[in-house]
A and B are shown apart, each in its own frame.
Chain A
Amino acid sequence: MSFSWAKPYEPKHPFMRWLDERLPLPRIVYNATGPGYPVPRNLNYAWNFGVAAGLFLVIQILTGIVLAMHYYATADGAFDSVNKLIMRDVNAGWLLRYAHMNGASFFFIVIYIHMFRGLYYGSYKAPRELVWMLGMVIYLLMMATAFMGYVLPWGQMSYWGAQVITGFFSAFPLIGEPLRVWLLGGYAPDQAALTRFFSLHYLLPFVIAGVVILHIWALHIPGSGNPTGVDVKDEKDTLPFHPFYTAKDGWFAAAILLVYALVTYFAPNYLAHPDNYIPANALATPAHIVPEWYFWPFYAILRSFTVDFVLDAKLWGVLAMFTSILLMFFLPWLDRSPVRSGAYRPVFKRFFWLLVIDVLILGYVGGAPISWWRTALGQAAAAYYFLHFLVILPLVSRFETPLPLPKSISDSVLHGEAAEAAPVGTKRGRKTAAATAAAE
């Protein structure tokens, strides 16, 4: 860790010393999440969502591994193994299935808040560009894992979702169709696709776990960001991760788990689509094919391209959809403002909230049945999305006048307190300013 005042790891117990001499795992944990990791003292609750995401990754892996003990990865047996064996006969099977199903949704809710925190507070800026890009890799892996997982129950939406998403690849000229057939191992989703999706769905979460470790490692080199975007200057600015942020993350995790439990136990199918309780039928398409909610904004972008212009509409849609995710990798170079946090960038802030509304609109359009005005709305929203990241952000970052930054983190933390706790009989402002000046 790069902060000089970080508490060093000094094992007291002889066994811990023995272990530390041979394999410094406890040392790594101490320095990463324990008293050995100084963290800015002014983090707000937007910073809780990284740990929450880790929690849901663990939940998904644990429930997933035990579900795999009962699941049959065959086109004939998959639906029944989920909806008969697991849901009815396996002890607590219904709980494991609903927990896994809703765990995926909550994983995405938490990750989206985590990503929007990054967008608002400039977490992607130097020196944390790699943290951001590793995070985008995790996001892509999550999307792949979730897509393949959704295919496994082999319901109508599983099958037709697989059909549509693998169909994207056939949009590419020349290599498209061979690529699609190679991915599926056939001409349509069938046994070959199902078994390979099961294999990869089991594998990728562990790859995600590995990239998460790199993500945290890359973060711990410069240390965590903070809501002011001002760098840590000295010990006053930080608190050791344990016990301060373990306590804060702990209570918030309990609260998130409470919401998760309420959904899992009392509304387990609220976020699901009824059509996936119909066994897959290759000869009958559902009335409205939609992916799971966390893909809706990208689905809206895909469907927004309706005219052939040089390239055909399908290819435009696929290119735009991939671009909408991949452009995030370039964010550190698109937004060059030296000021990190949106709290001190009033123009940027307004566009940020416009983006949030825009993504919500795109999500709505992506999940709703097609109609003329929704398509138009989606097209406008998709246009804004691209303009926001590719045109507006670079321009804003170039021409905006930011607000003055606080001198340090502790200044911003104590500014409020000092004013409140001013001694009797003194004028707050004068006293605080004089004392601050005197102390420096």
Chain B
Amino acid sequence: MSFDFVSLTNVIISGVLTGLVYGLMALGLSVIFGVARVVNFAHGEMMTLAMYASVILFSAFELNPFMAVLPVAAIFFVLGYGLQRWIVNPFVTRPEHTQFMLLLAIAIILTNGQLIFFGPDARSVRLDSLLESIALGPLLIDRGKLYAALVALGTAAALFSFFRFSRGGTAIRACADNWLGAKVVGLNVKQLYALAFGLGSLCVAVAGSMMILLVDLTPSIGPGYRLLAFVIVIVGGLGSMNGALVGGVLIGLSEALAGMFILPSAKSMFSFALLIVVLLLRPRGLIGGQR
């Protein structure tokens, strides 16, 4: 096997940067689960929807994804809020499998709606300004990946500070810890659930807007990213926000290394193996486990 230290470092950097975008996507899933206790089965499909929104804004208005991310995120926040408020909320007290089925149905409708609406052709957004890599000595850093990772990191930081410092964030955390207690002290639990779902959707919208710079988009990639998000949050710990980011970076890294050393097409097999091992050894995830 021929590899040298420089190309290995390049692969690691690329894996970590992609992993941060994965992490933001998974963070959305984790916020939704952590608060409303609902597994968003439509997560990957929502991300492809955000990616299509970016593609359309780019081709129609020449709005590049770093600008388009703002309206897309705002729309997704509203959509997520509405989805939880009017469709999912009646289901939070129903058995788990019913919630699963509801969101799975939404996922199927989204994927095939996209397939019917946008067709099966691959789309992408390529910005000329991102073509040139940044050279750091012998290392080459992909500009698109770097900026995407920075946006993901910034969004995650904003979300963390919202949860830590704002009244709304504190209320959501109270709700996640003990919804009955939250209700007793007068918080509007249903609205806070909807707010959490909106924030989770916002994360996935930002992640999608960045992901369009990194991969080609077809309607059929949604389920793959949904599974990827599951793998990440379980590895990191379902409901743990730090865990989602750490899990994202871990999976990004393992995919990049598996692509280099084994087979690029077998990279997700590696992730699923990691998932099975983590589920068996630490079912609550690497960072979760307070419950």
Binding between chains A and B: no
